[in-house]
Structure 1
Amino acid sequence: MEWMALLLFFCLCGFLLLGYPVALTLAGLSLIFAFIGHLAGGFDLAYLAALPSRLNGVLTNQTLIAVPLFVFMGVVLEKSRLAEDLLETMAQCFSRFRSGMALSVVLVGALLAASTGIVGATVVTMGLLSLPTMLKRGYDPAVASGTICATGTLGQIIPPSIALVLLGDVLSSAYQQAQLKMGIFAPDTVSVGDLFVGAFIPGLILVLLYGIYVLAFAPKPPLDAKASESVPVSKLVKVLLPPLLLIAVVLGSILAGFATPTEAAGVGAVGALLLAATKKQLSYGRLREAVMSTASVTSMIFLILIGASVFTLVFRGFGGDDAIHSILSALPGGVFGAMFIVMLVVFVLGFILDFIEITFVVVPLVAPVLLMMGVDPIWLGIMLAINLQTSFLTPPFGFALFYLRGVAPPSLPTQALYKGVIPFILIQLLVLALLGFWPSLATWLPMAVYG
């Protein structure tokens, strides 16, 4: 009945394209297929007996506690006017250069990614603050909108990243499963901290290439903006020091081994509250909004994860994991061919599915097979993270495009929005290719830090 597993996967993609709720579709469609398969004599309902323990494992997972903490940290920083101060100061610093405003957007976006890690909040904030100014200064609409959208997606790869937290949990389970199948009964794990450290160098490369593109290759405004007076060092320190300290505390504690990502997320949440309080932006109303927003995002993620657990059980009950192993193992090129096909499938699915759906539905199916073939789990995680980052930019369902379209002026054509993100998608694919040829870009720093 392996064909039932593949049919389940394709039916799931079809229902998601029709707009049905992700979590309920994952669980409901899987249970329907399980019932049909049981009636046909090809599915053993004993597989579903593991469901309660699976759900309990999801709800008590220590790693996933970092999700609401990082979300809360990002929402509080968003409401503390951190982005406004950073963007205004950096724009003044680079106002003497052509494309200085675009470069300031890239740098501020990187700082926000390392501070908040929330793509939607970064894109909306940068769109409201910088897009009107960039258009007024004569920037090509495609360049302005593409820079803002792409910069907002840096929160996917630059730690602390919610995507890396979710990928770390999924890959850890897949790694243990792969080792058990290979007869290793004391399996190692891949931690979220490993992925955070491994993403550091690729994230810096992305920021560097974004900056090179907007300075050297992107169409420049016809007239330079008037050079403003130099920014006083005291103002620059006052604006940059708080987010840099927060980044140093959160990431530094993980890199130094003083704290787990979950513990560091708790410290970051408290630090965000203190930063908002010092800026006199911590009112009861803002705190309530932050808590409600955190609860909404966290509930959505956990509900999808519960639905994905049901889907994975049913898929494996039909022998789907064996089918995928047979398909990938039979591909020409061995590990390279299998990895290339998986990356291609994930990239294509990014056109129609959200990164959370791909992380919880696709990655658990293909990761164990790739890991059994000898793929390094940290390298695989970073490759997947950068690949999933493109899903925010690829039309028609790129979420960053929707976020910016919602706050952009009506004069900005949607065609310019789609055109503007193409160079940045190519840059992300270039970094993906560099990682493919030089895995040490992702694995060297974790080895140097943890040994």
Structure 2
Amino acid sequence: MAEFLPLWLFAGVCVCLLFGYPVAFSLGGTALIFAAVGSLFGTFDGVFLEALPNRLFGIVRNETLIAVPLFVLMGVLLEKSKLAERLLESMAMLFGSMRGGLGISVILVGMLLAASTGIVGATVVTMGMISLPTMLRRGYDPALATGTICATGTLGQIIPPSIALVLLGDVMSNAFQKAQLEMGIFSPKTISVGDLFVGALIPGLILVVFYILYVIIVAWLQPHKAPAVPREELHSGSNEPLVLQLFKGLLPPLILIFAVLGSILTGVATPTEAAGVGALGAALLAWASGKLSLKTLKEAVHSTTKVTCMVFMILIGASLFSLVFRGFGGEELIQDFFSQLPGGVVGAMIVVMLLMFFLGFILDFIEITFVVVPIVAPVLLAMGLDPVWLGIMMAINLQTSFLTPPFGFALFYLRGVAPPEVKTQSIYKGVLPFIIIQLVVLLMLSIWPDLATWLPEQVYAD
């Protein structure tokens, strides 16, 4: 019975979450209760809790995690500057006159917005409020419109600079070092957030291309679902030439995105330093658009503080949970379980991906990254898997989970801002083809891991 205490600990956390308790306190509180009871009956090794002060000190001085509030601030400021509205107008002028053109515009704008904000919820809500009424007014099928917006919004999970990749990169780095020590390998090689950023570029672009191809195919086979918009209706009402309008709408965010990603790819800046550049650039864009007031700045800082506090509180709770889990022998239990699975590393990978997929129905990516990944990643990496490939597979897997009915977070975000006439059934129906697309990309990554590993090897080659 005692050997299964780690599983009971995990089940206890799930019960607390189902009762609606905050994630951070569910993790930490449940762990402390189990540790106290386990100490009384002699089933818990309290030595592990002695590492808690050092673990917490390491969290607050982790330079990589400083990128989180900076990227969040960047995204909030861009949202306040009405960037998405100008981007959608510019893209619609380019593609709106062709069948499916408005859907293509939404995908491209969502991609840029995902690269700008890095937050799934913010992208889905923003695109839902701006583009969904326009698509419905132009005669788009509600299922196609809502599916496109939900799928595009989840690109914030994989398109760098993504908050999910920042957190996942930090956790994977620790897991990689731990796996090397367990294998007796003493190598200077490390895994950074920049590796995941670079590794996510090709899979992220493949997803965008497949989304666009799907919209084009639907518009070609069923024109009534994605009609073209008459050219005269695409004019924004401005007397400026079309080229100048496109230039003003597209150039500022593109410069900001290339400044952030380019500085990381060229090695000029670390992800944390690039996040600082992004936050400053977003503030300048908001100022240039006349949207940067003292009130706006206070709201942006307040939102950033709330998100940052949530992330770090969950990380502290997850660290306590992880230590208690190890104290009950949870790591050995996981290793024994994986070693006995049929299929070896392939079987272990399938089990982990399925577990994370279903946990994505009830947990956000932050909890899964801080709780599940530190437990399973060292075991998988010790089996010989590439850390960059594993990180990208996990990110796309969670992205698919957030899109899957009936519990996908992206569906709830869009349902909250969609007009009442849009049925929930239409949203569920609309995302199914995009789920299939993401599963196809996951299969492609499984068959050709170089899709995730080739570019980092080229960029960071000595």
TM range (shorter): over 0.9
2:380 corresponds to 1:377 = no
Structure 2 unaligned blocks of 5 or more: 236-240
Map 1:302-341 onto structure 2 (within 5 A): 302-341=312-351
2:261 corresponds to 1:251 = yes
- Give the equivalent residue in structure 1 for 2:288: 278
Alpha-carbon shift at residue 395 of structure 1 (Å): 3.1
- Give the equivalent residue in structure 1 for 2:35: 34
2:397 corresponds to 1:387 = yes
Contact 1:387–1:432 (8 Å) recurs in 2: yes
Match for 1:144: what amino acid?
A: A
2:21 corresponds to 1:20 = yes
2:231 corresponds to 1:221 = no
Match for 1:289: what amino acid?
A: E
Map 1:23-102 onto structure 2 (within 5 A): 23-102=24-103
- Give the equivalent residue in structure 2 for 1:153: 154
Contact 2:120–2:153 (8 Å) recurs in 1: yes
- Give the equivalent residue in structure 2 for 1:211: 212
Deviations 1:253-276 (A, max 9, x none): 100001100000001111111111
Distance in 2 between residues matched to 1:397 and 1:57, nearest whole Å: 35
Distance in 2 between residues matched to 1:436 and 1:347, nearest whole Å: 16
Deviations 1:320-369 (A, max 9, x none): 11111111121111111111111111112112221111111111110000
Mean CA deviation greater in 290-299 or 36-45: 36-45
Match for 2:177: what amino acid?
A: Q
- Give the equivalent residue in structure 2 for 1:417: 427
Contact 2:129–2:417 (8 Å) recurs in 1: yes
Distance in 2 between residues matched to 1:84 and 1:221, nearest whole Å: 25
Distance in 1 between residues matched to 2:224 and 2:69, nearest whole Å: 41
Alpha-carbon shift at residue 173 of structure 1 (Å): 0.8
2:306 corresponds to 1:296 = yes
Distance in 1 between residues matched to 2:37 and 2:327, nearest whole Å: 13
Match for 1:180: what amino acid?
A: L
Contact 1:350–1:394 (8 Å) recurs in 2: no
Contact 2:9–2:34 (8 Å) recurs in 1: yes
Distance in 1 between residues matched to 2:216 and 2:336, nearest whole Å: 47
Deviations 1:257-311 (A, max 9, x none): 0110000000111111111111111111111110000000010011000000000
2:197 corresponds to 1:196 = yes
- Give the equivalent residue in structure 1 for 2:171: 170
Distance in 2 between residues matched to 1:220 and 1:422, nearest whole Å: 20
Alpha-carbon shift at residue 421 of structure 1 (Å): 1.3
Structure 1 unaligned blocks of 5 or more: none
Distance in 2 between residues matched to 1:260 and 1:449, nearest whole Å: 14
Counting matched residue pairs gives: 451
Q: Secondary structure at the match of 1:43?
A: coil
CA RMSD of aligned residues (A): 1.4
Mean CA deviation greater in 95-104 or 179-188: 179-188
Mean CA deviation greater in 171-180 or 156-165: 171-180
Deviations 1:212-238 (A, max 9, x none): 111113654355322336872222111
Distance in 1 between residues matched to 2:430 and 2:345, nearest whole Å: 34
Alpha-carbon shift at residue 186 of structure 1 (Å): 5.1
Distance in 2 between residues matched to 1:350 and 1:213, nearest whole Å: 25
Task: From 341, 344, 361, give the equivalent of 2:354.
Answer: 344
Q: So what's the TM-score if we normalise by structure 1?
A: 0.97
Distance in 2 between residues matched to 1:287 and 1:428, nearest whole Å: 37
Task: From 427, 440, 444, give the equivalent of 2:450.
Answer: 440
Q: So what's the TM-score if we normalise by structure 2?
A: 0.95
Alpha-carbon shift at residue 187 of structure 1 (Å): 5.5
Deviations 1:6-56 (A, max 9, x none): 111122223223322100000000111111111121112121111011111
Q: Secondary structure at the match of 2:224?
A: coil
Match for 1:116: what amino acid?
A: T
Q: Secondary structure at the match of 1:374?
A: coil
Q: Secondary structure at the match of 2:385?
A: coil
Contact 1:127–1:408 (8 Å) recurs in 2: yes
Mean CA deviation greater in 119-128 or 65-74: 119-128
Q: Secondary structure at the match of 1:221?
A: helix
Contact 2:361–2:409 (8 Å) recurs in 1: no
- Give the equivalent residue in structure 2 for 1:367: 377
Q: Secondary structure at the match of 2:56?
A: helix
Distance in 1 between residues matched to 2:397 and 2:68, nearest whole Å: 21
Distance in 2 between residues matched to 1:7 and 1:90, nearest whole Å: 52
Mean CA deviation greater in 62-71 or 38-47: 38-47
Contact 1:98–1:224 (8 Å) recurs in 2: yes
Deviations 1:48-67 (A, max 9, x none): 11101111111111000000
Q: Secondary structure at the match of 2:292?
A: coil
Alpha-carbon shift at residue 408 of structure 1 (Å): 0.9
Alpha-carbon shift at residue 2 of structure 1 (Å): 2.8
Alpha-carbon shift at residue 3 of structure 1 (Å): 0.7
